[in-house]
Structure 1
Amino acid sequence: MFLLAVGHSCVDVYQGTVAALVPFFVAERAYSYAAASGIVLAASLLSSIVQPLFGALTDRWAMPWLLPVSTAVAGAGIALSAWGGSYVTTLAMVAVSGVGVAAYHPESARVARLASAGSHTAMGWFSLGGNLGFATAPLLVAGVVGAGGLRAAPLLVVPAALGSVLCVLALRAVRTPDRAGSRVARAVGRDDRASFVKLCLAVVCRSLVFVGLAAFVALYARQRVGGGQLAGSAALFTLYAGGAAGTVVGGRLAARWDRVRVVCWSYAAAVPAVAGVVFVPGPGFYLFVALTSAALYVPFSLQVTLGQDYLPSRIGTASGVTLGLTVSVGGVASPLIGAAADATSLRTALAPLIVFPVLAWLLTRRLPEPAQPEPIPRFSDSLAPQES
């Protein structure tokens, strides 16, 4: 699980770098808010379509090779996105990176669920790895691109190279019982599609808030706090780093109370936190960014396991949809926020985001807690010699 979590961080760093690169595109290439948010859209649009498809494939066939390959693709796309001066080339390369990220998550979630024997706490640590990758992205971009400009962007491929190696090592250590290309055994259980749809709608609301803030919080911080690139990078780092704490807290709270209750409480707490980000000026802005991040990330891994338990016969599909929606839908809406910011102001464009945690709370407060599934056999059990 440690190797899988670190490998997860090496992939999700590329989701974070997209938003972290936006201020540099605005500064060096004079992109408008709408044009800059189009880059976020490019990373999300194909991902929103492709990720559930990869989820459906991993429900039928084991494809562990996707972990190192998709990690390499995600890094290569980002490394090449800022190299050329063409806007179309930038969009295309960012889209390629998004496909790599999309291909990684369903299969990695399936492998992690097997490796953790269905433990919510272990899945929380797996999700934490991804959140730490998010949190590292602004620091990585600030150190590489901030020092050398967009021409230094090819150096951003280094985490992908490391992550690919770690994925190979993790797969060897885990020794998944499903050989590449073999059929995956279906879990026994009854699908609750209605609850899964409600959960997905809540994830959509979360995505609209988080990705909308991630795309513009670095630029907004300069208006609320003052300062240059450092103030923006600090705000983005706070947004991502708070998620790491929220994920750990979410796993511990779910061990004491049921997951649905924890998810519901988290969205209720997110309402005043997001309002503080939009309206509170000065240093207090960073406090509300951290609170927003924690409130939005407490449900993160819990929603993945809830989706898997609502669709026990299609774990890959459930993982692909819930993990994919966390980024894709918000990315699709980002150009609308950017266009509104160009026409009015960033504060006016971000203010409607306060409504979405309210909607997520309404959607989750009536969800049932799924019955605990049978413990998933660990790999060592699956590989024990069988008597003939």
Structure 2
Amino acid sequence: MGHACVDVYQGAVAALVPFFIAERAYSYAAASGIVLAATVVSSVVQPLFGALTDRWPLPWLLPVSTLMGGLGVGLAGVTDSYALTVAMVAMSGIGVAAYHPEAARVARDASRGSHTAMSWFALGGNVGFVAAPWMVAAVIAVGGLRASPLLVIPAVGGAALCAIALREVAGRAASDSTHTDRVQGRDDWPSFTKLSGAIVCRSIVFVGLSAFLPLYVREHAGGGAVAGTVALFVLYLGGAAGTVAGGKLATRFGRLRVVRWSYALSVLAVAGVVFVPGPAIYLFVALTSLGLYVPFSLHVTLGQDYLPRRVGVAGGVTLGLAVSVGGAASPLIGALADAFSLRSALTPLMALPALGWFLLRTLTEPEPLVAPTVSSTRTGG
């Protein structure tokens, strides 16, 4: 639930853009600069926070970063200065970035490495992202940008939830006789690099479809703007189901086997989205969503087990950098669509899950290791 209260601010920035354009007459370039400030800052600094939390215990970072993420978005609508608006949004991005590596560590510790539990933790972030447009519309559409401080309310609730969770985890660790203060094992950087490459492939596909799927469905399935909205909803809804299913499937069949199956499914599903006409496209959108989201939480636990001495860095990369890097491909997809057609631009996306599967095929299942608790001494390895 705390994760949802943080990631709502990732989606809120994009949801605020139409209101910035309407009330402040920002150009499209200026508005996109605001989104870029939040996205780039967050994705770049997230591994840095992961490195910090690997060296020093920073449990207080969870409630503080949650409040920081909310304050940045909440104050963005108060000032008329473009520079200050960008600065506030960037501050929110830093808060979101600071949260994820330590939160992934605490979630791992609280669940004792459970794949199913990590999938529920990841689902919280998905719920927050999807809820963001509704929250922004409820506040800003009624009160205008000057009402943006009300958007801080979820951050206050999220900070309180983080504080409660930290207290419970620390209390359990103090009475757990099997607790180990130091993680043993060696970091497997080659495997982690291959995993990160696969995540980038998955990210490009998801970002590309999120940006252009509504337009493509309107062109090839009919139904106007409603059809595009429905397709996007199916993509997100299937993501929520896939995130939860991933943990349960991994418990039964193994993480890498499930991840490879998912990437293979994504190749066929994306091909169906691109080439199958008519209403059947919604089925392939749902299958694509499952293929992209079933491995989402498994990426995190695999990354942490490949880097047992740097689980903060692993969380920062798998939850942040490798996921956000896919956004850099959006301008290229748009340029291809302008030069040729939207179908021509989306067709190359079929090859990316195949490349991800190729990177994953030689990986071996890492041995899950006991994670240090939030009260443990961090080591750089």
| TM-score for both structures, normalised by structure 2 | 0.83
- Which residue of 344, 358, 361 maps to 2:357? 361
Q: Which residue of 2 aligns with 1:157?
A: 152
Which stretches in structure 2 are left out of the alignment for 5+ residues? 175-179, 377-381
Distance 1:95 1:342 in 2: 30
Distance 1:77 1:340 in 2: 35
Deviation at 1:370, TM superposition (A): 1.0
- Cα distance change on mapping 1:304 and 1:65 into 2, 3 Å: same
Distance 2:263 2:17 in 1: 27
Deviation at 1:269, TM superposition (A): 0.9
Q: Which residue of 2 aligns with 1:192?
A: 188
Q: Which residue of 2 aligns with 1:259?
A: 255
Q: Which residue of 1 aligns with 2:197?
A: 201
Deviation at 1:344, TM superposition (A): 5.5
Q: Which residue of 1 aligns with 2:379?
A: none
Q: Say if 2:301 is the partner of 1:305.
A: yes
Partner secondary structure for residue 201 of structure 1: helix
Q: 2:262 is matched by which residue type in structure 1? A: S
- Cα distance change on mapping 1:337 and 1:141 into 2, 3 Å: farther
- Cα distance change on mapping 1:372 and 1:248 into 2, 3 Å: same
Q: Which residue of 2 aligns with 1:71?
A: 66
Partner secondary structure for residue 171 of structure 1: helix
Partner secondary structure for residue 79 of structure 1: helix
| 1:55-204 alignment runs, 5 A limit | 55-81=50-76, 90-145=85-140, 153-175=148-170, 185-204=181-200
Amino-acid identity (%): 67
- Cα distance change on mapping 1:241 and 1:12 into 2, 3 Å: farther
- Cα distance change on mapping 1:38 and 1:355 into 2, 3 Å: farther
- Cα distance change on mapping 1:41 and 1:205 into 2, 3 Å: farther
Which stretches in structure 1 are left out of the alignment for 5+ residues? 1-5, 179-183, 383-388
Distance 1:96 1:379 in 2: 25
Contact 2:42–2:320 (Cα < 8 Å) also in 1? yes
Distance 1:54 1:327 in 2: 16
- Cα distance change on mapping 1:11 and 1:223 into 2, 3 Å: farther
Q: Which residue of 2 aligns with 1:54?
A: 49
- Cα distance change on mapping 1:264 and 1:311 into 2, 3 Å: same
- Cα distance change on mapping 1:43 and 1:306 into 2, 3 Å: same
Contact 1:59–1:314 (Cα < 8 Å) also in 2? yes
Deviation at 1:256, TM superposition (A): 1.3
Distance 1:30 1:336 in 2: 24
Partner secondary structure for residue 191 of structure 1: coil
Q: Which residue of 2 aligns with 1:291?
A: 287
CA deviation vs aligned residue, 1:311-349 (integer Å, no higher than 9, x gap): 111111111111113432023333444455555655444
Distance 1:126 1:370 in 2: 21
Alignment size in residue pairs: 368
Moved more, 243-252 or 320-329: 320-329
Distance 1:101 1:348 in 2: 35
| TM-score for both structures, normalised by structure 1 | 0.81
Deviation at 1:35, TM superposition (A): 6.4
Deviation at 1:146, TM superposition (A): 5.5
Root-mean-square deviation (CA, aligned residues, Å) is: 3.3
Moved more, 204-213 or 241-250: 204-213
Deviation at 1:171, TM superposition (A): 1.7
CA deviation vs aligned residue, 1:111-154 (integer Å, no higher than 9, x gap): 11111112222222211211222232343345445566666554
Contact 2:273–2:284 (Cα < 8 Å) also in 1? yes
Q: Say if 2:276 is the partner of 1:272.
A: no
